[in-house]
């Protein structure tokens, strides 16, 4: 899809130059900066010096949380994001001084591409199956490289996830008792890098990668979406789990959380898309793990049982360990 968008803009006379200052995220990636605007688009988002971005198809919607992460490194100027993923309802765009954003959701994007196909600007002829497979594999490898970039960046250090919860606001919204005494701590967890083949109906396959967080203290085993890490490690007490999951249990949980419902075409020449269950092929799976630290607060209440608050998710869990 990257090549299709860039190709269509160039066909309409646009010139896109690379912009080394455009960092993006694994799921919102830069296509270039317009140094010569295209014809058409009714003086729309493709203006001079506009930075063009692409949010590829994925499992989740494009929401405010993801845009907040993207805008942290967004440079001053105009930005045009073309998203294959549905936008969250009543999406409110983040604000940053000097940054202007326009987002096209999948409906606008497909209408634009559809008009280009009907006008003959895009050749809609069917390629050979080998060409399609080669392009798909190349695209999958590149997407996996981008998606897993954050995991590769933390492999050599003991990194700390960034807290997302404001403690005072959380206590106001979630009264759990009087005289709460919070103690900031770091909780040991593991992130699993999982690479393998998803197999769906009608012998459909798709190469995929996941980053999965295992946290025995929080009793969680879940897929991470673009996690944020601190540039330093806070000087706090570290709480290790009593035990880690056995390898066979880890593999069972990986199979469970990676199973998904996806659309597929029952015929290579068909435009019909239907839903089916896609499961990870164990024989294709490659896994490795790295230890990370998750910020938290132990919530001590006199004459009551203690809890621990995950400072990333805002979820409260029982805590049976010692406070000091």
Which string of DSSP letters, residue by residue, matches 226-283?
S--B-SS-----EE--S-PPPHHHHHHHHHHHH-EEEEE-SSTT----EEEEEEE-GG
User: Using CA atoms, how far apart are residues 22 and 50, in angstroms rounded to an integer?
Assistant: 11
Task: Give the per-residue pLDDT at 315.
Answer: 95
Tell me what the mean pLDDT of segment 137-147 comes to.
71
Q: What is the DSSP string of 32-78?
A: EEEEEPPS-GGG-S--TTPEEEEE---SS-B-HHHHHHHHTTPPSEE
- Per cent of the chain over pLDDT 70 is 84
Range scoring the smallest mean pLDDT among 126-130, 145-149, 239-243, 311-315: 126-130
Confidence at residue 132, expressed as pLDDT on a 0 to 100 scale: 44
Strand order in the sheet with 15-17: 15-17, 29-36, 51-55, 77-83, 99-104
Structure-token match 């409906």, residue found: 107
Rounded CA gap, 46 and 49, in Å? 8
Residue 272 has pLDDT above 80, yes or no: no
Q: What is the pLDDT of residue 55?
A: 87
- The more confidently predicted of residues 166 and 1 is 166
Token pair of 85, please?
A: 């993923």
The answer to whether 279 touches 199, Cβ cutoff 8 Å, is yes
Question: Above pLDDT 90, what percent of the chain?
Answer: 38
pLDDT band of residue 176 (cuts 50, 70, 90) is: confident
Residue 70 CA to chain centroid, in angstroms? Answer: 11
Q: Checking phi first, is residue 13 left (phi over 0); if not, alpha (psi -120 to 50) or beta?
A: left
- Residue 100: strand, helix, or coil: strand
Q: Picking from 81-95, 128-142, 180-194, which range would have the lowest pLDDT averaged per residue?
A: 128-142
pLDDT digits (tens, 9 = 90+) for 61-73: 888 888 998 999 8
**Angstrom distance (rounded) from CA 203 to CA 266:** 10
Residue 117 confidence (pLDDT): 64
Q: What is the pLDDT of residue 125?
A: 41
The mean pLDDT of 213-238, rounded to a whole number, is 93
In order of 179, 245, 275, 294, 313, the CA distances from 317 in angstroms are: 18, 18, 36, 14, 11
- pLDDT, position 239: 95
- At 303 the pLDDT is 79
Determine the pLDDT at residue 140. 65
Q: Encoding tokens for residue 233?
A: 């490690």
pLDDT band at 51 (very low <50, low <70, confident <90, very high): very high
Is residue 137 scored above 80 in pLDDT? Answer: no
pLDDT of residue 118: 65
Angle at 64 between CA 63 and CA 67, to 5 degrees: 95
Mean pLDDT check: name the lowest of 126-130, 189-193, 237-241, 252-256.
Answer: 126-130
User: How would residue 194 be classed by pLDDT, with cut points 50, 70 and 90?
Assistant: very high
pTM, two decimals, is 0.57
Q: Is pLDDT of 35 > 90?
A: no
């Amino acid at each position: 899809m990257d090549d299709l968008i860039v190709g269509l803009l160039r066909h309409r006379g646009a010139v896109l130059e690379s912009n080394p200052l455009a960092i993006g995220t694994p799921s919102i990636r830069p296509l270039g900066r317009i140094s010569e605007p295209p014809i058409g688009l009714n003086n729309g988002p493709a203006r001079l010096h506009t930075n063009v971005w692409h949010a590829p198809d994925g499992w989740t919607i494009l929401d405010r949380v993801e845009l907040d992460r993207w805008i942290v490194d967004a440079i001053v100027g105009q930005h045009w994001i073309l998203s294959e993923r549905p936008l969250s309802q009543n999406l409110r765009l983040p604000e940053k001084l000097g940054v202007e954003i326009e987002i096209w959701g999948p409906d606008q994007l497909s209408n634009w591409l559809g008009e280009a196909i009907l006008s003959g600007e895009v050749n809609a002829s069917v390629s050979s199956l080998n060409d399609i497979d080669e392009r798909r594999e190349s695209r999958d490898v590149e997407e996996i490289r981008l998606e897993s970039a954050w995991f590769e960046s933390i492999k050599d250090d003991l990194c700390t996830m960034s807290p997302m919860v404001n403690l005072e606001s959380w206590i106001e919204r979630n009264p759990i008792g009087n005289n709460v005494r919070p103690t900031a701590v770091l909780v040991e967890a593991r992130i699993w890098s999982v690479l393998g083949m998803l197999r769906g109906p009608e012998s459909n396959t798709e190469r995929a990668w996941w980053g999965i967080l295992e946290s025995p203290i929080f009793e969680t085993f879940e897929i991470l979406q673009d996690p944020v890490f601190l540039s330093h490690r806070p000087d706090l007490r570290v709480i290790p789990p009593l035990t880690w999951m056995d390898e066979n249990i880890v593999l069972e949980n990986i199979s469970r959380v990676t199973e998904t419902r996806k659309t597929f075409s029952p015929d290579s020449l068909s435009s019909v898309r239907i839903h089916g269950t896609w499961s990870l092929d164990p024989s294709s799976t490659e896994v490795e793990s790295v230890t990370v630290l998750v910020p938290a607060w132990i919530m001590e209440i006199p004459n009551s049982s203690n809890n621990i608050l995950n400072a990333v998710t805002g979820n409260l869990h029982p805590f049976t360990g010692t406070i000091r």
